[in-house]
Amino acid sequence: ARMIVRRSEAGPGPVGFAAFERGFTYPFGAGRRFRIDHGPDPLRFFRAVGPAMRCTAEAGGAVLGTLTATVRRLRDPAGGQITAAYLGDLKVSPRARGGPALARLAREALAALAGVDAAFAVVMDGTEPTPDRFSGRAGLPAMTALARIAVLRIEGAQPGPWKREDAVQARCDWRRLSLGRYAACGGRPSLRSLIPPTWLRL
């Protein structure tokens, strides 16, 4: 079947997207993996970051690959600002790897991102096909590792004693997040997910 690549900025995922997404797992520490379910509106998470679009490769009614991009202004180290694209949710089904799916997705995304100054992606530890292995070819610019980031670390030992006002402030912050929203820097909290976050600890 002939491959087509669609670009979308809103609405539900294509037919078969949920089944396609279930075929991918991600590393979650030693010997553990997890799945991501973006729900009926796969771009909801990405729109919380900025204007977003999804490229989908399909053939014969089956989803073969996806690539999502979100654009926003970021501060650069010199104190100025650049327009940067966050590239995420890059998935190519095992049966389509080695074929034209990645190149077609990359070309479609690059055409939509013509005015962007830079692009970055986030890769979880333990992911085997890291961007340095497949970028620099198939129409993708070369990407290199910039930094390693620990997003969340929960220590076993209890930190120093909490004062009552600390706990009150923490619960106040928690209430701001508990309706599936996140605190946006320099703006009002915006909708990110319909799933309420889980309270971990004070």
Residue 125 Cα distances to 30, 67, 130, 136, 196, angstroms = 10, 20, 10, 21, 26
Q: What is the pTM of this model?
A: 0.71
Residue 163 neighbours by CB under 8 Å, 6+ apart: none
- Tell me what pLDDT residue 15 has: 81
pLDDT, tens digit, 9 for 90 and up, residues 36-92: 888 888 888 888 888 999 999 999 889 999 999 999 998 887 888 999 999 988 999
pLDDT, tens digit, 9 for 90 and up, residues 118-154: 998 888 877 777 887 778 876 678 888 888 887 665 5
Provide, rounded to the nearest whole percent, the portion of the chain with pLDDT above 90: 26
pLDDT, tens digit, 9 for 90 and up, residues 144-169: 888 888 766 555 555 566 566 666 66
For 171, other C-beta atoms within 10 Å of its C-beta total 12
Q: Please, what's the b/e burial string for 70-97 (b: 16 or more CB within 10 A of its CB; e: otherwise)?
A: bbeeeeeeeeeeeebbbbbbbbbbeebe
Give me the residue label for tokens 């089956």: 62
